Amino acid sequence: MDQQEILTAAKPAGNGKGNLLERIEQFLFMEARLQDTHAYEEWEALWTDDAIYWVPANGATDPETQMSIIYDNRSRIRVRINQLKTGRHHTQTPRSELARIVSNVELIQQAGNEVDARANVLIFEDNLRGETLWAARNEYRLRMTADGFKLVRKKVSLVNNHRPIFTLSFLV
């Protein structure tokens, strides 16, 4: 594999190996890498058709009645990705330089072919405005498929989501 293929490979090298928590961690690290490297199509392919991608505001209010920073179903995830792919989503031209740490991964529960997990995430972003540090507590629901894990639900709770925050146009 060349360098670009390594960065956007949508399967962890050790896929299917290790215990459940290790496999979850490998999946979350891979997702983080796809986001950091703007591998838009590979990241989009991680989602199931019934996906919900949620970044709440003002704590964790009911997304059905209250404003969220992001509250995407599968079709809106596609629009989000397609906008990034036009090359004219100005806030990502040039793209943010990103590196994130995913840590404190916990396996919360397993039910049938789905698992719930949590992690903390710290993201360093550099763009035209300058340097920004983002911190979030994430919750995931993953579905085990023949193709490996898929994202069913991802909730990104920015720790400062009740405060004014800068433009968040990279994949969080």
Partner 1 sequence: MPPASSCDTRALIEPTRVHSRLYYDQTIFEQELERIWYRSWVYVGHISEVPNRNDYVTKSIGPMPVLLIHDRTGQITLLLNKCPHRGNQLCAYREGNRSTFTCPYHAWTFSNTGELAGFAYADGYEGVDKSKFSLGRVPRVGIYRGFVFGSLATDGPSLDEYLGGAKASIDQLLDNSPEGELELTAGFLQHRTQANWKFMLENETDGYHPGFVHSSVFQVTDSGIGKLYGPQSTALTRDFGNGHTEFDLRPEWRRLGEPLAWFGATEDRLPGYVKAMKTSYGAERARQIMIDGSPHIMIFPNLFIAEIQMFVLQPLAVNETIQHVTALQFKGAPDFNRRLRQQTMGSVGPAGFLLADDTEMYERNHRGALISDPEWLTLSRGLHRERHDENGYLIGHSTDEVPQRGIWRHYARLMTA
Q: Output the smallest distance, CB 83 to partner 1, in A.
A: 5
Among 6, 20, 129, 135, binds partner 1 (CB under 8 A): 129
Question: CB-based burial of residue 113 (10 Å sphere; 0-12 exposed, 13-18 middle, 19+ buried)?
Answer: exposed
Among 10, 69, 107, 144, binds partner 1 (CB under 8 A): 69
Running DSSP on this structure, what letter comes out for residue 109?
E
Q: Rg (Cα) of the chain, in Å, rounded?
A: 16
Sheet with 130-145: list strands edge to edge: 68-73, 47-56, 148-158, 130-145, 114-127, 97-111
Among 6, 13, 18, 66, binds partner 1 (CB under 8 A): 66
Stretch that binds partner 1, among 18-26, 51-59, 112-120, 140-148 (CB under 8 A): 51-59
Among 13, 20, 21, 67, binds partner 1 (CB under 8 A): 67
Say how many Å lie between the first and final Cα of the chain, rounded.
26
Stretch that binds partner 1, among 13-21, 26-34, 43-51, 53-61 (CB under 8 A): 53-61
Q: Is 55 in the site for partner 1 (CB under 8 A)?
A: yes
8 Å CB contact between 67 and 169: no
Q: Output the smallest distance, CB 3 to partner 1, in A.
A: 28
8 Å CB contact between 40 and 85: yes
Q: Is 88 in the site for partner 1 (CB under 8 A)?
A: yes
Size of the site for partner 1 (CB under 8 A): 35
Q: Output the smallest distance, CB 49 to partner 1, in A.
A: 18
Running DSSP on this structure, what letter comes out for residue 114?
E
Running DSSP on this structure, what letter comes out for residue 167?
-
8 Å CB contact between 92 and 164: no
Residues that bind partner 1 (CB under 8 A): 55, 57-58, 61, 64-72, 76, 79-80, 82-83, 86-91, 128-129, 162-169, 172
